[in-house]
Amino acid sequence: MVCRCENVTAGTLRQTVATAGADELNRLKALSRVGMGRCQGRMCGVAAAEILAHATQQPLQQVGRLRGQAPIKPIPIRLVPAEGADA
Amino acid sequence: MSSIKKLQTDVAIIGGGIVGSSAALALRRMGASVVLLERDLCGSRSSGVNFGGVRRQGRSLSQLPLTQRAHRIWGRLPELLGTDGEYVRSGHFKIARSEADMASLERYRAMSSDFDLGLELISATRLRQQCPWLGTRAVGGSLCAEDGQANPRLVSPAFALAAQRAGALVFERHKVDEVAHDGAMFMVRSGNALEVQAPVLLNCAGAWAGTIASQFGETPPMYARSPVMAVTEPVPHFMRWSLGVEGGGIYCRQVERGNLVMGGGTGITLDDERARAESDAIATLAMQAVELLPMLRHAHIIRTWGGTEGYLPDREPVLGPSLTTPGLFHGFGFAGAGFQIGPAAGEVLADLARDGRTETPIDAFAIERFDEESVSPSLAASPT
């Protein structure tokens, strides 16, 4: 199990590489949901990148990194307006 | 690098979004050879990061023939793409927040009655019974039961993959640096990697299509805008419909996994390449979401994003032949509402590429509607 938030296994990642030709980490995320859960890839991002690099026979730095997307950690929706006003 | 790769093809396509990719697929099914150039990854921009509404309801009357054609394509998605892309005809419900909104929805139903959208108006009383989860500002609405939703990050790349499997040559990460027309053939060049020659060129470059059009002396008044999107953590399923609001504002749907995807307002365009959801717009969106669906007040937002989309002042796309250059056809400027009609726009472009005409009415989308200001004859004579 690579991504515990979204239940994505290493096998699913390798299969996505094989069938859809994903060779970049954000594309792998889009196709498999890896890194799309509550932790936004903070737990699984590095492992997913290593598996992708290995499966595509690229150096690790070639597969890219997950794009950072706000908020940094999950934020209750009712608190968002207050946060937004401060910003 | 070794010498530049040169290809000849029946049709060259610039842009691997849902429009360009579905045009490529349609052309391959007609037997034409196709080369598609995409500056990034296919379906990674607006086509892949949009809200995912697959909606006919609420479109302008001029778009209804196109949207109906698209509806038939969406119905065959697994057959065409080998995946359903999480497409479901879950229903699209447009909420009225006042009697005036309700009257407006009634007018739309009457106006669109020739097109058989199957719209059904729902009263406040029935809404309370049927949807206890809906906030109290909703006083009724209009349901299009056969409209629905899909996962854009799966569907749009799948069109490109299907085109590729059908024999289209798809070049990702190939930004177009030069386009020219010598009177008979187009030449499309990407760096020192690829040069494509074709008698027909389709401009499906989305928010970046204006740059291509201007190479041929056409300058439609296009501007870029970035819708704001956010998604919550998964919550237990309560809502099947995709929701919109009469008069605009928030739109919202619950995906199969349970997450609520929502959008509305305008983000920031950082530069030519990047857009962000901005905190004030997210704050407004969050307030509207809680008003619309009060139970969401305990949910967490886990991610926000934006995308860059091309808009024209009348919010209708440009779809049809170039005014200046024979063999050039445009399909862009879908104003944040191109996901559902994209596949039909692609088929129309394929019709135009093959026959020079299409059975789907597209006059309302002609580039000449921007008349004199859009055409500069001096430039048209000498495309770079």
Prediction ipTM score: 0.90
Q: Note which residues in 147-166 of chain B have CB less than 8 A from chain A.
A: 153-154, 157, 161
Instruction: Give the pLDDT band of residue B29 (cuts 50, 70, 90).
Output: very high
- Report the predicted TM-score, pTM, of the whole model to 2 decimal places: 0.93
On whether any CB of chain B is under 8 Å from the CB of A61, the answer is no
Which of B296, B303, B305 minimises the CB distance to A77?
Answer: B296
CA distance A43 to chain B (A): 14
Tell me the pLDDT tens digit for each residue of B326-339.
999 999 999 989 99
State phi, psi for B135 to the nearest 5 degrees: -60, 165
Average pLDDT of span B62-87? 97
CA distance A75 to chain B (A): 5
Task: Find chain B residues with C-beta within 8 A of A7's C-beta.
Answer: none
On whether any CB of chain B is under 8 Å from the CB of A59, the answer is no
Which of B287, B290, B301 minimises the CB distance to A75?
Answer: B301
Average pLDDT of span B11-38? 98
Which of B41, B300, B304 minimises the CB distance to A69?
Answer: B304
pLDDT of residue A84: 52
Q: Does A30 sit within 8 Å of B283, measured CB to CB?
A: no
Instruction: Give the pLDDT band of residue B373 (cuts 50, 70, 90).
Output: low
In whole angstroms, give the CA distance from residue B72 to residue B25: 16
For residue A61, the Cα-to-chain-centroid distance in whole angstroms is: 15
pLDDT of residue A87: 42
> In B97-226, at which residue ranges do the beta strands (DSSP E only) sit?
119-123, 140-144, 148-149, 169-171, 178-181, 186-190, 194-198, 200-203, 223-225
Task: Dig out the tokens for A31 from the structure.
Answer: 């196709």
Place of tokens 């009348």: B314
Tell me the pLDDT tens digit for each residue of B335-360.
989 999 999 999 999 999 999 999 99
Pairing verdict, β B194-198 and B186-190 = antiparallel
- Using CA atoms, how far residue B274 sits from A49, B108, B314, in Å, is 23, 36, 24
Tell me the pLDDT tens digit for each residue of A14-55.
999 999 889 999 999 999 999 999 999 999 999 999 999 999
Q: Does B279 sit within 8 Å of A83, measured CB to CB?
A: yes
pLDDT of residue B322: 97
Pick the residue of B268, B280, B282, B297 with the most A CBs within 10 A to test the interface with A by mutation: B282
pLDDT of residue B381: 42
Q: Does A26 sit within 8 Å of B301, measured CB to CB?
A: no
Q: Does B161 sit within 8 Å of A69, measured CB to CB?
A: no
What type of residue sits at position B200?
A: V
pLDDT of residue B275: 73
pLDDT of residue B2: 65
Q: Does B286 sit within 8 Å of A81, measured CB to CB?
A: yes
Task: Find chain A residues with C-beta within 8 A of B232's C-beta.
Answer: 77
State phi, psi for B278 to the nearest 5 degrees: -115, 155
Give the whole-number percent of chain B exceeding pLDDT 70: 96
Give the whole-number percent of chain B exceeding pLDDT 90: 87
Which of B41, B301, B303 minimises the CB distance to A77?
Answer: B301
Average pLDDT of span B13-35? 98
Q: Provide the Cα torsion B38, B42, B46, B50; round to 10°.
A: 180
On whether any CB of chain B is under 8 Å from the CB of A4, the answer is no
**Contact (CB, 8 A) for B16 and B205:** no
Task: Find chain A residues with C-beta within 8 A of B41's C-beta.
Answer: 24, 27
On whether any CB of chain B is under 8 Å from the CB of A72, the answer is no
On whether any CB of chain B is under 8 Å from the CB of A18, the answer is no
CA distance A71 to chain B (A): 6
| HSE of B29, CA atoms in CB hemisphere, 13 A | 16
